[in-house]
Amino acid sequence: MTSARGSSHDGNIPPVRWGVILSIWTAYGIVSSANQYLSMFLSRGEVTLSWWQSVLLQMPQAYFWALSTPLILKLGRRFPFERGRWVSSALVHLPSSLALVFCVDLGFTWIYGRVAPIPPNALPLFSRAVRTFATWALSDSLLYWIVLSAGHAVQHYSRFRESELTASQLETQLVQAELEALKMQLQPHFLFNALHTISALIRTGDRAQAVQVTAGLGELLRRMLDSATRQEVPLRQELEFVKNYLEIEQIRFNDRLRIQMETEDAAMGAMVPYLILQPLVENAIRHGIAPHRSAGLVAVGARQVDGRLRLVVRDDGPGIGEGHTARPGVGLSNTRARLMRLYGDDFDLVVHNRSEGGVEAVVDLPFRPGHSIGGRSA
């Protein structure tokens, strides 16, 4: 005699988590014991079982299923129900489920003869087990299929998560590669301008300043190599790079270039895209300073506004008017593309004429504080 079986909802693959399996099947055994005890109690038949007798009958079955769970999961992985394999897998799982159920019923019949009274004229053990099996085979075999289904569900979920992770990693690698490509497009353009400055100084015979620019270029190259693999750096580091760059440009333009830095201390630790300011500064010099004989100003500013970081590069040149372009160029185009890749839609880049004259480039970014390591911003 058996009670209606419960269900198992876990099949961790691999590794099999015995703690989870035993917990689920222990709960199943307790529920089955309570079900059998209440059924006997409410039926008021000739045969009645105490609570502990019900436990002794049901718990061994529960733990048998617990021990069988890894085998069921292994068979499920070896013979999955996939396209083209339904028939062959069914021919394995159907007899396997019936064999396990018969083992359970045989054990139940044997234990029952030791915890409950048996009539003197009762059938032999094997015959009683066959009768029990014939009565409960259909319902008891559902446990096998529930475990099998749970195993398939966990396996498919694991594959889904793995494919999601792989896709995410590939997307990250693709974005990283695109960002690196955009960044590398900026560096040759910048290096060309620096080398052009050195050659111009040599042609004019100003060797001292040519050496000074060469030394400054070496320092810039060192900084570029130090941060070559990083997409974001602290604003303080980005401003140091811009200062070095402007020192070279100031030698090139002499008194025609005035520089102004307007930064807030609260913004200095914020993380910004590496080389985000250099193309904007280069653009301001190229369009606001270089074409004109009179002296001009290039100002670089950074401050925190409403929890965001605002970077500003402006010049006091003639502005964008008739006969002038909006200064797209490689620098601005790449800057916008990099910002799009790094921040999605959570950024703003505007280049416009100032009411006081000149052009202003404003970059609005999320404020991301850098982490401090060993007293330095990283």
Could you tell me the two tokens for 126? 């094997």
What CA–CA distance (Å, rounded) separates 63 from 226? Answer: 61
Q: Global pTM?
A: 0.51
Question: Is pLDDT larger for residue 155 or for residue 361?
Answer: 361
Asked whether the beta carbons of 129 and 102 are under 8 A apart, the reply is yes
State pLDDT tens for residues 161-212: 887 777 777 666 666 665 565 555 555 666 777 787 788 778 877 778 888 8
Q: What is the structure's pLDDT at 375?
A: 33
CATH superfamily assigned to domain 206-377: Histidine kinase-like ATPase, C-terminal domain (3.30.565.10)
State pLDDT tens for residues 33-85: 888 788 777 766 555 777 888 888 888 888 888 888 888 888 888 888 877 78
Asked whether the beta carbons of 367 and 309 are under 8 A apart, the reply is yes
Q: What is the structure's pLDDT at 377?
A: 37
- Coil, strand or helix: which one is 246? helix
Asked whether the beta carbons of 6 and 31 are under 8 A apart, the reply is yes
Q: Are strands 296-305 and 257-263 parallel, antiparallel or unpaired?
A: parallel
Q: What is the structure's pLDDT at 229?
A: 60
State pLDDT tens for residues 231-258: 788 999 999 988 988 888 888 787 889 9
Asked whether the beta carbons of 21 and 66 are under 8 A apart, the reply is yes
State pLDDT tens for residues 295-353: 889 999 999 999 999 999 999 888 876 444 444 555 677 788 878 888 889 999 999 99
State pLDDT tens for residues 92-141: 888 888 888 888 888 888 887 777 777 777 788 888 888 888 888 888 88
Q: Where are the domains of the chain?
A: 18-166, 206-377
Q: Can you give the three-state secondary structure of 296-341, one letter per residue?
A: EEEEEEEEEECCEEEEEEEECCCCCCCCCCCCCHHHHHHHHHHHHH
